[in-house]
Amino acid sequence: MKLFRFGDPGREKPGLLAPQAGRVDVSAFGEDYGEAFFGSDGMARLQRWYAEHAAECPSVGADERVGPPILRPSKIVCVGLNYRAHAAETGGKLPPEPMLFMKSSTALAGPYDDLPLPRGSRKTDWEVELALVIGKRARYIEKARWSEYVAGFALMNDYSEREHQKERGGQFVKGKSADGFAPLGPLLVSPDEIDVSRLGLKLRVNGQIMQDGNTADLIFDVPTLVSHISEFMTLLPGDVISTGTPEGVGMGRNPPVFLKPGDVVDYEAELLGAGRQRILESV
Ligand code: ZN
């Protein structure tokens, strides 16, 4: 299944990308894609419902804004330094176990929303990533059972203000949490439709390729991450885990490159679709 959401920010409706019908409105199912939906086997229930009601579902117009494919989650957990070449470009050593940090859930945005820079930002940077959405309450889960706990995969850009991240108190959260810093989607793709062990990820700034990586190079893979993170916290249905970024971020360049108003960032992953942000002045 491929889910998406559409409509104005905060008032999105649930949609489904159907094999024949294309983008359809499934509001009549009566549930949006959040904790209650994922935590009650919503994906399977929606699939059964759609099989019976496909003919009654209106199509979604091409001019509709695409929102994030899920409701605001309880948390967004991110993994730092999870590709060897990226660890090297940031000057870090290879981590002996996953390095985790949190991103504010209010950073969540649609995949084509404009991004106004945080006030005073001089070092806003990009990070294309594979993200996953939790499908079932998870605590101390075994690696071999990871797939029972994942509802699907989505494309994310883990925007990062490097000055706020590294020079303003010594913890990542300030640099990762600004509004719009977590564009997610367009699609949430269920695990049966995608192999994330070998997935290409690309990102361009103003048309110039900056990141060209593959999840085959992850240090800690998806099963390891789901198990490891659940050792330290309860993961709720609808929570997001973003798995880290390949090399090619702006701060790793010589000289470093950071985003400025007028820049356009676009990125893509096989089977997950593409995202794009115009960078704007602060508001
Ligand atoms: Zn990241």
**Does the model's pTM come out above 0.95?**
yes
The alpha carbon of 79 and the centre of ligand 1 are apart by a number of angstroms equal to: 6
CA 40 vs CA 15, 35, 137, 164, 238: distances in Å: 18, 8, 10, 38, 11
The alpha carbon of 19 and the centre of ligand 1 are apart by a number of angstroms equal to: 32
The alpha carbon of 8 and the centre of ligand 1 are apart by a number of angstroms equal to: 27
Q: What is d(CA 106, CA 11) in angstroms, rounded to the nearest whole number?
A: 15
The alpha carbon of 158 and the centre of ligand 1 are apart by a number of angstroms equal to: 5
User: 255 preceded by cis ω (within 30°)?
Assistant: yes
Give the tens place of pLDDT for each residue, 164-191.
999 998 889 999 999 999 999 999 999 9
SS3 of 212-264: the string is EEEHHHECCCHHHHHHHHCCCCCECCCCEEECCCCCCCHHHCCCCCCCCCCCE
Scored b (16 or more CB within 10 A) or e, 70-82 reads bbbbbbbbbbbbb
The alpha carbon of 244 and the centre of ligand 1 are apart by a number of angstroms equal to: 4
**Model confidence band, residue 149 (pLDDT cutoffs 50, 70, 90):** very high
Protein residues with C-beta less than 5 angstroms from the ion ligand 1: 127, 158, 245
Give the tens place of pLDDT for each residue, 30-69.
999 999 999 999 999 999 999 999 999 999 999 999 999 9
Token pair of 280 as six digits: 């704007």
What proportion of the chain, given as a percentage, has pLDDT over 90?
A: 94
The alpha carbon of 144 and the centre of ligand 1 are apart by a number of angstroms equal to: 25
Q: What is d(CA 96, CA 267) in angstroms, rounded to the nearest whole number?
A: 29
Give the tens place of pLDDT for each residue, 239-276.
999 999 999 999 999 999 999 999 999 999 999 999 99
pLDDT score for 93: 80
The alpha carbon of 128 and the centre of ligand 1 are apart by a number of angstroms equal to: 7
CA 59 vs CA 34, 48, 162, 183, 272: distances in Å: 22, 19, 41, 24, 20
**Model confidence band, residue 224 (pLDDT cutoffs 50, 70, 90):** very high
The alpha carbon of 3 and the centre of ligand 1 are apart by a number of angstroms equal to: 23
